[in-house]
Amino acid sequence: MAWSLPIAMAVAALLVIITLSYRQTIDAYPNGGGAYTVAKENLGKKAGLVAAASLLIDYTLTVAVSVAAGVENFTSAFPGYEEHKVLIGALVILFVMLMNLRGIKESASVFALPTYFFIVSILVLIVTGAVKMALGKVAVQAPLVHEIYPEIPIFLLLRAFSSGCSALTGIEAISNGIPIFKKPAQKNAKITMVWMAGLLGVMFIGITFLAHMMGIVPHDGKTVISLLSGQVFGDNFLYYVVQISTALILFLAANTSYADFPRLASLLACDGYLPRQLGSLGDRLVFSNGIMGLSLAALFLLMAFGGVTHHLIPLYAVGVFLSFTLSQLGMIRHHLRLREAGWMRALIFNSIGALTTFVILLVIAMTKFLSGAWLVLILIPAFVWFFLQIKNHYLFVARRLGKVSGDQTASMLPSNHAALVPVSNLHPGVLLSLQYARSISKDVRACYVEMSPEATQRLKDQWEKAVPQVPLIVLKSPYRSIMEPVLNYIDQVKHEKNGQVVTVIIPEFVTKHWYHRFLHNQTALMLRAYLWLKPEIIVTSVRYRLY
């Protein structure tokens, strides 16, 4: 414990370096994107994918570790619930998931109060503990500065330092989510980062200071915060206030990942490196698929490791410091390439940040390798390979669907009923569907749900050249829902046709391998499910094979 304060000061110094470095990133990339965007634009696509894989793994671990640590603080105060900690952790993850599925504003409102509650309670704990020590009401077990520090193997000191560095995960979250700040977003993000770093530094050093002076050593079933608050306040109301606030803030620390994991996943999906479903906003204007995917992964980790933080911590921080390093190297390249105003000062900050985080990355990888860091070091290249395979698949699909010939026409057969063809773009599968529709009906209409005015205009231009004889009906969707506008339009056509049969012809492309289907939106499947019980609706699928 004699070395705890020097190690804490080293971690605090690292906090200052990383904060100053990421302030330069906020200035250079005000639209967000964090390490992935910085590395991709300055170091190349492969470096960007490595940074993205590192962050996705770390965000998932953040949820599992934060929730597990929160449950441990709760069971420290209420030991009767110790045997149910995995169940409690799972319920917490599900609650945070549901709040985020409700939308950003709703989740922020619920999560703000516990945050302030925690900050105040910890600051009260630190001040009260310091005052009681000064007045001699609490026994002091160790001096502030030791005349002689005990000789400890350098490996153990580095391992302790690497564990302390876990406190710095999440700093990059602000640079990832700049667009969600109030305007001026860039200025507010920088202010928030300074406040966050200041509060983190004060609480980190303050808690370490009290634990050092009072000789607090954690043991099974009791966390440092529990032992410390018990010694400062005794077994009274304030002790339980600190424990509950600490548990709540650890539960809510997982919300950092819920803000940034889906956003990063959507960026990767838009670039074609993850399934496209992850890039779609839900009805609540949140990335619902990313939120649910993160929750399932975190639940798996929590259950696999029995909710024990000592088993999860060795996996932690490797990924985030790798992304730190790539981000800072990317910023160095950015400054040398553009040389904008003040670039020399920013270059110095980012150079120090790159060197420091790279050294810390080596320390963490070496000291935690046998404890579990090896798994993360294997997963990162595996994720990058997975990203590239998805990208190759999408490129293949785009090549095959891009072959539109001008001779795909059909004769019309007399019929009074309407044939509707829902489309998302124009490709050979759509032309085959229109050909079939015109062979069975004179009233053929294509309907398209508008998500972007620019995409709509591009489709209209293509449509006028390829199939001007078929009207393209553009359906508005203010809540970005696809199913509701299509179903409403089908009902409208049924009413217009006085209840006659309406044929809905769904274009589908068939991939070479069955598992490729999971990389594409299952809109056709959902539409068939919605129309299953609707009377006087004929649903037909026209399949276009990509092989």
On the question of pLDDT at 107 being above 80, the answer is no
Among 279-283, 391-395, 414-418, 423-427, the range scoring the smallest mean pLDDT is: 414-418
Locate 301 and state its tokens: 């980790």
User: Is pLDDT larger for residue 412 or for residue 96?
Assistant: 96
The H or E element containing residue 257 is helix 237-270
**Across residues 150-158, what is the average pLDDT?**
81
The CATH code of the domain that includes 34 is 1.20.1740.10
Same domain, 213 and 251: yes
| Residue at 475 is within a domain | yes
**CB-based contact 114:252 (threshold 8 Å):** yes
Question: What percent of the chain has pLDDT above 70?
Answer: 94
Per-residue pLDDT reduced to its tens digit, 21-57: 888 888 888 877 678 888 999 999 999 999 999 989 9
Same domain, 300 and 241: yes
Same domain, 433 and 386: no
Give the Å distances, CA to CA, from 432 to 17, 406, 428, 437, 517.
Answer: 60, 12, 6, 9, 20
**CB-based contact 257:55 (threshold 8 Å):** no
The CATH code of the domain that includes 477 is 3.40.50.620
Tell me the residue range of the domain where 180 lies. 4-391
Count of domains forming the chain: 2
| Residue at 405 is within a domain | no
Q: How far apart are CA 537 and CA 23, in angstroms?
A: 58
| Residue at 539 is within a domain | yes
In DSSP terms, 222 is beta-bridged to 219
Model's pTM, two decimal places?
0.77
In the structure, how many helices (H) and strands (E) does the chain have?
A: 19, 5
Cα-based torsion angle of the residue sequence 81, 86, 92, 98 in order, rounded to the nearest 10 degrees: -140
Same domain, 311 and 455: no
Give the Å distances, CA to CA, from 224 to 33, 130, 218, 228, 230.
Answer: 36, 16, 5, 6, 10
Number of Cβ within a 10 Å radius of residue 333 = 17
Is the peptide bond prior to 184 cis by the omega test (within 30 degrees of 0)?
Answer: yes
pLDDT band at 156 (very low <50, low <70, confident <90, very high): confident
Q: How far apart are CA 429 and CA 448, in angstroms?
A: 15
Per-residue pLDDT reduced to its tens digit, 468-503: 999 999 999 887 788 889 999 998 998 888 868 889
Number of Cβ within a 10 Å radius of residue 292 = 15
Measured in degrees and rounded to the nearest 5, phi and psi for residue 512 equal -65, -40
Same domain, 293 and 427: no
| Residue at 136 is within a domain | yes
Same domain, 424 and 373: no
The H or E element containing residue 47 is helix 45-77
